[in-house]
Amino acid sequence: MPTVHLLDYVAGNVRSLVNAIEKVGYTVEWVRSPADVANAEKLILPGVGHFGHCLSQFKNGGYVEPIRAHIAQGKPFMGICVGLQALADGSEESTAVPGLGVVPGQLKRFDDSDKSVPHIGWNSANTSAKGAVADESVYGLRPDSKYYYVHSYALPYVEGQLEEAGWTVATARYGNEEFVGAVAKNNILLTQFHPEKSGAAGLRVLKAFCDGQPRSKLPETPSSEAAREGLTRRVIACLDVRTNDQGDLVVTKGDQYDVREKEGVSAGGEVRNLGKPVEMARKYYEQGADEVTFLNITSFRNCPVADLPMLEILRRTSETVFVPLTIGGGIRDTVDTDGTKVSALDVASLYFKSGADKVSIGSDAVTAAEEYEARGKKLLGTTAIETISAAYGAQAVVVSVDPKRVYVASPDATPHHTIETATLGPNGEKYCWYQCTAKGGRELRDFDVRQLVQAVEAMGAGEILLNCIDKDGSNSGFDLELINDVKAAVKIPVIASSGAGNPAHFAEVFERTPTDAALGAGMFHRGEFTVKQVKDHLQAEGLLVRPFED
C-alpha cells in the first residue's frame, strides 16, 4: 500500500487518523524526528489542544524549517485542526507564540455571549463562490456535506482576503460568525474540521488528499436548503457497558439506573443484555449517529487500567466508526492491581491512544467540584479535569452529571439553587433542586447541579453530559427544566440526556431548550426507533441535521 507520513509531535487521538488513512487505502509512516520529514512525499500535520503548546513543541522539536522546505518543494501537505492554525500568522489563544505565517490571518476566540464555546459538532465546509469553480469539488469537499469540528478559536472569514492571496476557501458559520473551515492552495490543504471524525464525507477529503486529487467534479449541484450553513443538531447514541453475571461485557440499560431485569424469562435480577458494544456502535454509526458514547458503568468496582476490554472495545470501534467516540467510567487517579499509582491523566491517555476523542468524568468530578468550592473556588491544577484539559484541550473533557430531583415547598427550605417546576412533587411541592450523585446514583451529595457545572467549567471541562436519574429509562422525554437551568449557568456545550422515548422528544428538546446535543439510549437499543428516524423527524421539523453519507 502507498504511504502517507504523519507527524507525531502532539498528544491526542491519532489512532483514528491512522485508521482513517488506512481505510482510504494508505499506510502510515511516522515522522519521529525532523530528519524524517525529508523522506515524506505526502505529509499530514495533525493537531489538538492548545495553539501555543503545540507550536512550542513543534518548534522545539526542530520541525519548522523541514516543514517549510517540504511545502516549498511543492510536496503535498495537509494540516488538521491545530495543524491548520499553526500555519496562520498567530492566535489570540497564545499571542506570545507566532504561527508559521503561511496562511494570512489571526485566529480569534468565538464570541461566547450568544453561543456555547467550544464549537463542537457538525458544520459546513462550503466552497461555493469562495475561490472555487461552481461545479467543482475541492479535495472532495461538498457544499451539502457536514464535517466534525471541535475548537474554540477559528480563522474569521474576511471576504476576498484569502482568495486574493490565491487560496480557495471553504467556510462554516457558527451563530453570526463566518470562519474558515478549510483552505487549499497548490500543494497545501488545511482543514479546521477533523476529516477522520467526519464519516464518509471526511474520508472522501482524506482520500482526495492522499490520491493527489485536489479538483474533481461535484456529482450534482445541491439545493440551497441542502447547502444551508450552520451547526447541525447533534444526535448521540449512548451505550452503557458492564460485565454481566456470566462475565461478558454487554450493552445494558437501566430504569433510573437499575439495570437488572424485572420481568420476562430473565426476570429475577439478571443484568439486561441488549447486545455487543462494538457491533452496536457500528450499527448506530451506520444509522447516522453524530457521536457514540460508551459509559463503563461499573468502573468503580475494577481498576480501569486493568480494564482492558474497554480499551479493546475502543480500538475495535475506532476501526469502523469514523465519528467522535467518548468513553466514561473510572477516569480518576487510581492504584493499579500491582500497587502502582496511575494518574487520571495516564488513564485518559490510554483511552485516547485506543481511539477515544473525549473522556467523560463522573464521580471524580463531583469530589473535585466539592473541594474546589470548599477551598473558596481556588484551582489546584492537579485534578483529573484540569490535568486532562491542560494536556488534551478542554474539548476532550466531558463531565457526566447524574442529578436527582429533590422537591421542596419553597426556595427557603434549602440553601441550594431551586427552580419552580411544572411537575409537582409527591406532596404538591412547587419547587425542586437537583442533587448531585456519585457512583452511578448510589451516593447522594449535599451539592447541587449548578454548583457542579460551574465548578467544572472553571476547572476546564469542555462539555456537560447532563443525565437525569428521575428521567433515565422512562421514555417520557427529557427534563426540559433541568436542561434550561443548566444551559443558563454555563457557556460550554451541554448534551441533554435521559428520557428520550421517540423522535418527537428530540425535536422537543431542541425546540424548547438551547441544548447543544441530545443523547438517547434505550429507545435505540430496544430497536423501537433508529437514529435515522430521529434525524428525519428533526429535518421534517425544519431543524438542521447532518445528512448521512455512505
Q: What are the catalytic residues?
A: 81, 194, 196, 240, 402
Question: Quick check: 362 binds ligand 1PR (CB under 6 A)?
Answer: yes
Q: How far apart are CA 126 and CA 143, in angstroms?
A: 5
Nearer to ligand 1PR, 360 or 513 (CB): 360
Nearer to ligand 1PR, 277 or 522 (CB): 522
Question: Quick check: 259 binds ligand 1PR (CB under 6 A)?
Answer: yes
Q: How many CB atoms lie within 10 A of CB 439?
A: 15
Where do the H-state alpha helices sit in 48-174? 51-60, 64-72, 82-85, 161-164
Which grid coordinates belong to 79? 494540516
* Residue 270: CB minimum distance to ligand 1PR, A: 15
Q: How many CB atoms lie within 10 A of CB 46?
A: 24
The residue with its CB nearest to ligand 1PR is 440
DSSP tag of 449 = H
* Residue 383: CB minimum distance to ligand 1PR, A: 13
Contact region for ligand 1PR (CB under 6 A) — 7-15, 166-174, 453-461, 496-504? Answer: 496-504
* Residue 279: CB minimum distance to ligand 1PR, A: 18
Nearer to ligand 1PR, 202 or 254 (CB): 254
Long-range contacts at 411-414 (CB < 8 A, ≥ 24 apart) = none
Question: Quick check: 330 binds ligand 1PR (CB under 6 A)?
Answer: yes
* Residue 148: CB minimum distance to ligand 1PR, A: 21
C-alpha angle with apex 420: 414 to 422, nearest 5 degrees?
A: 135
Torsion of CA 268, 269, 274, 279, to 10 degrees: -130
* Residue 26: CB minimum distance to ligand 1PR, A: 36
Question: Quick check: 328 binds ligand 1PR (CB under 6 A)?
Answer: yes
3-class SS at 148? strand
Question: Quick check: 447 binds ligand 1PR (CB under 6 A)?
Answer: no
* Residue 503: CB minimum distance to ligand 1PR, A: 13
Question: Quick check: 292 binds ligand 1PR (CB under 6 A)?
Answer: no
Q: What is the amino acid identity at position 334?
A: T
Q: How far apart are CA 418 and CA 423, in angstroms?
A: 13
Task: Print the binding letters for residues 463-482 with ligand 1PR: x by CB under 6 A, - otherwise.
Answer: ----x----xx---------
Peptide bond into 118 cis (omega under 30): yes
* Residue 299: CB minimum distance to ligand 1PR, A: 4
User: How many residues touch ligand 1PR (CB under 6 A)?
Assistant: 32
Contacts of residue 186, Cβ cutoff 8 Å, sequence gap at least 6: 74, 166
Which grid coordinates belong to 288? 447516522
Where do the H-state alpha helices sit in 189-334? 199-211, 277-287, 308-320
Q: Label each residue of 20-54 as H, E or C.
A: HHHHCCCEEEEECCHHHHCCCCCEEECCCCCHHHH
Site for ligand 1PR in 391-420 (CB under 6 A): 400, 402
Question: Quick check: 253 binds ligand 1PR (CB under 6 A)?
Answer: yes
**Most distant pair of Cα atoms in the chain: their distance:** 76
Contacts of residue 86, Cβ cutoff 8 Å, sequence gap at least 6: 45, 47, 51, 54, 55, 58, 79, 99, 100
Nearer to ligand 1PR, 42 or 505 (CB): 505
How, if at all, do strands 517-520 and 494-496 pair? parallel
Question: Quick check: 310 binds ligand 1PR (CB under 6 A)?
Answer: no
3-class SS at 437? strand
Nearer to ligand 1PR, 19 or 498 (CB): 498
* Residue 324: CB minimum distance to ligand 1PR, A: 16
Contacts of residue 539, Cβ cutoff 8 Å, sequence gap at least 6: 545
Nearer to ligand 1PR, 127 or 498 (CB): 498
Site for ligand 1PR in 514-543 (CB under 6 A): 520-522
Q: How far apart are CA 183 and CA 433, in angstroms?
A: 48
Nearer to ligand 1PR, 141 or 289 (CB): 289
Question: Quick check: 500 binds ligand 1PR (CB under 6 A)?
Answer: yes
DSSP tag of 546 = P
Question: Quick check: 387 binds ligand 1PR (CB under 6 A)?
Answer: no
Contact region for ligand 1PR (CB under 6 A) — 51-59, 139-147, 297-305, 333-341? Answer: 297-305
Among 324, 440, 460, 477, binds ligand 1PR (CB under 6 A): 440
Among 295, 311, 496, 534, binds ligand 1PR (CB under 6 A): 295
Among 273, 299, 389, 418, binds ligand 1PR (CB under 6 A): 299
Listed residue (240, 261, 263, 262) closest to 251, CA to CA = 240
Site for ligand 1PR in 49-78 (CB under 6 A): none
C-alpha angle with apex 389: 387 to 391, nearest 5 degrees?
A: 70
Q: Which residues bind ligand 1PR (CB under 6 A)?
A: 238, 240, 253-254, 257, 259, 295, 297, 299-300, 328-331, 360-364, 400, 402, 440, 467, 472-473, 497-500, 520-522
